[in-house]
């Protein structure tokens, strides 16, 4: 099983950024632990603050990975281009958010990518990533 975890803008600052919302643990440290806990899964980790780079990575992994965990950060709320990239690839994509976007500012309740994704998991803190990995692992195997 190959799972790509892709993080968008400002997620490199999790742990230092608004800790009341995103917590005190760095995402790098959390994802290091998470990926080590799944010995049978082949993970790739990618983070960028740039929309086009995120699209390049989705295209790069999107035809070979068995699943993608995507936290597009604020591009979630604006990017038709990322939504188009998700629709263009074959791997199922889980939209992930650390915070509960549906109970925050109205503009965060809008997701341009939601309809393109297989499901959405939000509001569990960093555990949202683990839940997304488990969701992908529970998918029926491709024949």
State the catalytic residues. Answer: 22, 97
Which of 94/101 has CB closer to ligand DQA?
101
- Residues forming the site for ligand DQA (CB under 6 A): 10, 71, 73-74, 76, 97-99, 101, 108
Q: Report CA-CA distances (Å) from 53 to 3, 68, 138.
A: 18, 16, 29
Q: Which is nearer to ligand DQA, 60 or 108 (CB)?
A: 108
How near is the Cβ of 20 to ligand DQA at its closest, in Å?
Answer: 12
d(CA 27, CA 14): 6
Say whether 29 sits in a helix, a strand or coil.
helix
Q: How far is the CB of 96 from ligand DQA (least distance, A)?
A: 7
Of 97 and 130, nearer to ligand DQA (C-beta) is 97
The token pair at 89 is 């690839």
Token readout for 103 is 């109970």
């Amino acid at each position: 099983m190959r799972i790509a975890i892709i993080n968008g803008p400002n997620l490199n600052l999790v742990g230092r950024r608004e800790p009341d919302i995103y917590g005190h643990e760095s995402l790098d440290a959390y994802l290091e632990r998470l990926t080590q806990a799944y010995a049978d899964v082949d993970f790739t980790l990618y983070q960028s603050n740039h929309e086009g780079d995120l699209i390049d990575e989705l295209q790069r992994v999107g035809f070979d990975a068995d699943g993608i965990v995507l936290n597009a950060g604020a591009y979630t709320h604006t990017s038709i281009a990322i939504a188009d990239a998700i629709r263009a690839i074959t791997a199922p994509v889980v939209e992930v958010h650390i915070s509960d976007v549906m109970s925050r500012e109205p503009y965060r309740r809008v997701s341009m990518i939601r309809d393109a994704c297989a499901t959405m998991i939000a509001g569990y803190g960093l555990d949202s990533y683990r839940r997304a990995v488990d969701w992908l692992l529970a998918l029926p195997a491709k024949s």
